[in-house]
Amino acid sequence: MAHVITDRCREAKDQSCVEVCPVDCIHPTAFLDGDEPFQTTTQLYINPDTCIDCGACVPVCPVEAIFMADDLPVDQQKFIELNAAYYQ
């Protein structure tokens, strides 16, 4: 089960998670996708098909927005689908 980024990301849209991701599964980012997609999207998303569950992104997130899907708080479950939908 992949990691998931929740709406806490909206507070910062910090890209530290992207810098440590070994498989580039977090988007949109200014340096991978360009400034326009980064600026017009409300938060970052993890591609569940690419994520290898390494967990490298979790400790570097300054707003604690990243969870294992199985560990998501009940009120954040919708972000499993929202992260996947971004890549469809």
Interval 30-88: pLDDT, tens: 999 999 999 999 999 999 999 999 999 999 999 999 999 999 989 999 999 999 999 99
Domains of the chain (ranges; CATH) run: 3-86 (3.30.70.20)
pLDDT at 1: 72
pLDDT at 61: 97
Structure tokens at 13: 């849209």
User: Does residue 11 have a pLDDT over 90?
Assistant: no
Interval 12-27: pLDDT, tens: 899 999 999 999 999 9
Please tell me the pTM assigned to this model. Answer: 0.93
Helix H, strand E, coil C: the string for the chain is CCEEECHHHHHCCCCHHHHHCCCCCEECCHHHHCHHHHHHCCCCEECCCCCCCCCCCCCCCCCCCEEEHHHCCHHHCHHHHHHHHHCC
